[in-house]
Amino acid sequence: MGFEIVVIAVLVFVVVTVWKGVRIVPQGEEWIVERLGKFNATLSPGLTIIVPYIDRVAYKVITKDIILDVPEQEVITKDNAVIITNAIAFIKVTDPIKAVYGIVDFSEAIRNLVQTTLRSITGEMELDQALSSREKIKLRLKESISDEAIDWGLTIKSVEIQDIKPSESMVKSMELQAAAERERKAVVTKAEGAKQAMILEAEGRLESAKRDAVAQVTLAESSSQAIQKVTSAVGDRDTPMLFLLGEKYIHALENISTSPNSKIVLLPGDLQDALKGILGKARSG
């Protein structure tokens, strides 16, 4: 009975020893082995054997591309505008030893490095420039953090800017500013229209006055020519004048009588005497 217990114990010890000594590393990973607390070897993918009870797998490092989501943060731009930015970093572990022994947590380190560098880059820009310079910010960000990443055994494959947008308070301020600008343009347009209308109206009045003046000059010249012709025909200086005045007098009365606004036509009391005087003058001449 005691012999059987010893055999079983030995078998259990052998199984446990084999289980501790044989390691299968999956593809896309590399394992760091420490011997008595000190780095000993790096296990590549496949079947490997370590010394049981002395060696131990201290770290399992993923060598595939790693996606790191950089949290959203508020940034103050050069012109004191508040914007919200976040990013995604794609990294790869190229030196597992540096990655595990060079820094405590390389993933958290890269996140913090991207955050602080992104805040520094956008803080040097004005709002409009920051909102329209994604590619420029991405290139500067990758260049700035690559050297630090190499010291940690990492390669920065890419850094993508997920979003750059104004904060809610900035959006409201921009909407108010845009509304004020639209109102200002409307007022300017209205004032410009009123100015043009006044100019056109003044030009119209000026043109009308010029035409009235020309018409009056033309009428005066016509009257002068008519008087001269009548005077030369009649041979009397007063009769042509009286004739023309009488003609104008009659035309004025006709205009009054045919006007649509005239309800009552008033005739002068001396109309007959005036006509008699004119006609008498004409006959006596």
pLDDT, one tens digit per residue, over 144-203 is: 898 889 999 999 999 998 888 887 766 666 667 777 777 778 788 888 888 888 888 888
User: Residue 63 contacts by C-beta under 8 Å, 6 or more apart in sequence?
Assistant: 28, 29, 30, 92, 93, 96
Q: Look up residue 106 and give its amino acid.
A: F
Is residue 269 scored above 60 in pLDDT? Answer: no
Is residue 281 scored above 60 in pLDDT? Answer: no
CB 60 within 8 A of CB 101: no
| DSSP class of 265 | P
Higher pLDDT, 253 or 92: 92
User: Residue 129 contacts by C-beta under 8 Å, 6 or more apart in sequence?
Assistant: none
Residue 282, pLDDT score? 47
User: Residue 126 contacts by C-beta under 8 Å, 6 or more apart in sequence?
Assistant: 77, 78, 79, 81
Is residue 239 scored above 70 in pLDDT? Answer: no
Mean pLDDT of 85-106: 92
Which CATH fold would you assign to the domain 66-166? Tetrahydropterin Synthase; Chain A (3.30.479)
The candidate with the shortest Cα–Cα distance to 86, out of 161, 36, 178, 186, is: 161
Binning pLDDT at 50, 70 and 90, where does residue 205 land?
confident
Is residue 237 scored above 90 in pLDDT? Answer: no
Mean pLDDT of 235-255: 61
| DSSP class of 266 | P
Mean pLDDT of 225-242: 61
Higher pLDDT, 225 or 260: 225
Binning pLDDT at 50, 70 and 90, where does residue 89 land?
very high
The model's pTM: 0.57
Residue 41, pLDDT score? 93
Residue 39, phi then psi, degrees to nearest 5: -55, 135
